[in-house]
Amino acid sequence: MSPVAPASAKPKAKEPVVDAALAGEHGLSAAEWERLCGFLGRPPTITELGITSALWSEHCSYKSSKIYLREFPTAGPRVLQGPGENAGVVDIGHGWVAVFKMESHNHPSYLEPYQGAATGVGGILRDVFTMGARPIACMDSLSFGEIDAPRMRSLVDGVVRGIGTYGNCVGIPTVGGETRFHRSYNQNILVNAFALGVARRERIFRAKAGGPGNAILYAGSRTGRDGIHGATMASEAFDSESQKKKPAVQVGDPFVEKIVLEACLEAMHDPSGMGAIVAIQDMGAAGLTSSVFEMASRGQVGFVMDLDQVPLREPGLTPYEMMLSESQERMVLVVQRGREEEISKIFHKWGLEVAKIGEVRNGGRAEIRHRGKVVAEMPIAPLTDDAPVYERPVAVPKDLARRQSAPEVPPVTDPAATLRALLATPELGSKEWIWRQYDHTVRTNTVIGPGGDAAVLRLKGTPSGLAMTSDVNPVYCALDPRSGGRQAIAEAVRNLACVGAEPVGVTDCLNFGSPENPEILWQFREAVRGLAEACRAFEVPVISGNVSLYNETAGSAILPTPTVGMVGVIANLGEIPVAHFRRPGDRIVLLGEDRAEFGGAVYLRLLHGIEQGHPPAVDLAAEARLARFLRAAIAAGLVRTAHDLSEGGLGLALAEATFGEGVGAAVRVGLSATALFSESQGRAVAALAPRHVERFLALAEQHGVPAAEVGEVGGDALEIAFAGGQLREPVEALRRIWTEALPRALGL
């Protein structure tokens, strides 16, 4: 085994008095303090208090959200691993599985944007390769405040650089995502990271400890003081003292992450080590505490741990600090007794430290030693499976009726000016400045990268591909969280359908304010119900996810933001449609129906400051018909372009479709100038060769999908003839406004 840092020669600091007041400072309620003392039969040690505060934090225990998450459908014919592990697993055919998950790193990214975002990427990658999968792609969903808000430009810069640097150094492409700007995120930004990996079906690993006498090995970077109380910080609202919590932000090293990744995959898949690894888990939130306790809980076993064997970055760390440190790039493995050296040799070959820090025991208890003394001795179940679960009060927001009242929609008098104004906003402008900082082609799997409706990756060695998208409209969720949840799933399905992909699984990151506010918890409950309804309607299971609560500052909460990450399978890649027009002469077909719906629409919100009304209705049956039709038409080789209609409606969608290659379009519709910017759901625009139009329209009719030929691709301008007038704008002029919007807002 590798040497560890020597013990400190400094005199041991006197431990604080552990009482109800100190427990309160650690986030425990009076009832939780009594509960802890009750099952221990005594007051806890300071180390035991730290362990409990981490495991009972909202971030680790889901104590306010667990009762609602049970509504999600989590099983299906493709599901090999649902919620409860580091990541979910679905069968994608040809002996392969897809492993994916989404996580939040919101609070750390606000306090220290570069490291907060970077370690968010590192953490989600470890969740994936811990399952035995090689990560092949990342996405991110970013929610920022107004550009002119204090620190916002530096937050945007730091977060984007952190994501880009970490992912680029590890060599994992960032192929998609979304970015929004809204005043509700002025003091609490959101950084949601998604990772996807692939593995052979028979080589999936789990974090379930077992086998009394088996060794517990520590591998990777040494333990320092960074990240202590990260999990508990993520379970608190921000206040004026929040900047002082920077020590709770982890510091990552992507080059070490790459080495840890390769070493772990070799140890898991090397034939010589076959069967040696019983369980494996990364040290994420709450570090050693969550990793070892959760592994033991899943296996219904106990463990003994010797903290003197933990490799330290600096001398003098207390047991409390060692157990709660969130230093990055660290792994815990349970290895068959007698085979420790086999595994250790692999990590040593990669230049990584390995130490035996404990072993598995029967009995369901944890015993943690330091310098020959027991510093923690606790039953495991009350801290994990039997952690507190709350059914907190819920209440409909007092101002909901006002916010849902039908807005007066100012008529569009100059549609060209309206289109230009929307394209010039950071919200709707191109995000190329962001994704150009990410390597989205490394590993050579990328078929469609950032900027489309969904990213597409080839599954090498097979005819198949994987598609992925990230979606949510927080404004819709604020106006009607149940409808907003349904819409997030429906849009994700629609985006996948535009590249011909069948959805196979969902991961989510549910970002809300304080669950102790009944109105916020009502938002959460309703959003979950909407997500669950839509998942059942589309028969797509939720296989993993994350809940991030307490996203608020000084009592001001973010918009409810239940971010959805969805993965789909394309059976035969063939020629995948793109989201932009490509060939002059192609015919343009509009799918779906417009119902002139403006509740929460960007036209009202961004140009008139109106943020009210009912969001557009979501007809799940109609959405399912549209998705099935698009997949069938694409599989038949009929479609060259497919682009869904979402924010900004038909006007924005047609403009975006011209930007890819600068090819214009001439379209004629019976809509009013105002209705061009309606955000009715269940719509898409397609472009196809003239010879395919008749067959395409017939297929749409068979599927019960409204379809109408509305124009032709070609020229250098976007022309839209509508009821009462015409819009004609040069494509290049519109594209320049769109591409410059975000850099201009950032002052670049």
> E-assigned strands of 436-515?
446-448, 455-458, 465-471, 502-511
Half-sphere exposure (Cβ direction) of 215: Cα atoms closer than 13 Å: 21
8 Å CB contact between 314 and 224: yes
* Strand ranges of the sheet holding 542-548, from the earlier edge strand across to the other edge: 446-448, 455-458, 465-471, 561-570, 502-511, 542-548
Bridge partner list, 98:
90, 198
8 Å CB contact between 494 and 43: no
Bridge partner list, 192:
104, 141
8 Å CB contact between 196 and 567: yes
What tokens appear for 332 in the block? 């815990």
Residue 132 has phi, psi (to 5 degrees) of 95, 5
Tell me, what amino acid is at 494? R
8 Å CB contact between 692 and 638: yes
Torsion-angle region of 286 (φ positive above 0: left; ψ -120 to 50: alpha; else: beta): left
8 Å CB contact between 718 and 658: yes
8 Å CB contact between 648 and 415: no
What tokens appear for 211 in the block? 């086998």
CA distance 374 to 464: 54
Active-site pick, 26, 59, 182, 643:
59
> E-assigned strands of 513-555?
542-548, 552-553
Contacts with 338 (C-beta within 8 Å, 6 or more apart), sequence order: none
What tokens appear for 343 in the block? 């595994």
8 Å CB contact between 283 and 291: yes
What tokens appear for 102 in the block? 């989404």
Residue 105 known to be catalytic: yes
Strand pairing class (665-668; 707-713): antiparallel
Q: How many helices and strands in the chain, by DSSP H and E? A: 24, 28
How many CB atoms neighbour CB 157 within 10 A? 15
Nearest to residue 96, comparing CAs of 460, 380, 358? 460
CA distance 574 to 553: 49
What tokens appear for 159 in the block? 């977060």
CA distance 85 to 75: 14
CA distance 358 to 310: 10
Task: Pinpoint the alpha helices (H) of 238-286.
Answer: 254-269
CA distance 450 to 15: 52
CA distance 312 to 295: 22
Tell me, what amino acid is at 453? D
CA distance 293 to 584: 61
Output the furthest CA–CA distance in the chain (Å, rounded).
Answer: 86
Active-site pick, 26, 105, 107, 229:
105
In order of 17, 614, 670, the CA distances from 617 in angstroms are 57, 8, 21
Residue 59 known to be catalytic: yes
Q: Return the active site residues.
A: 59, 105
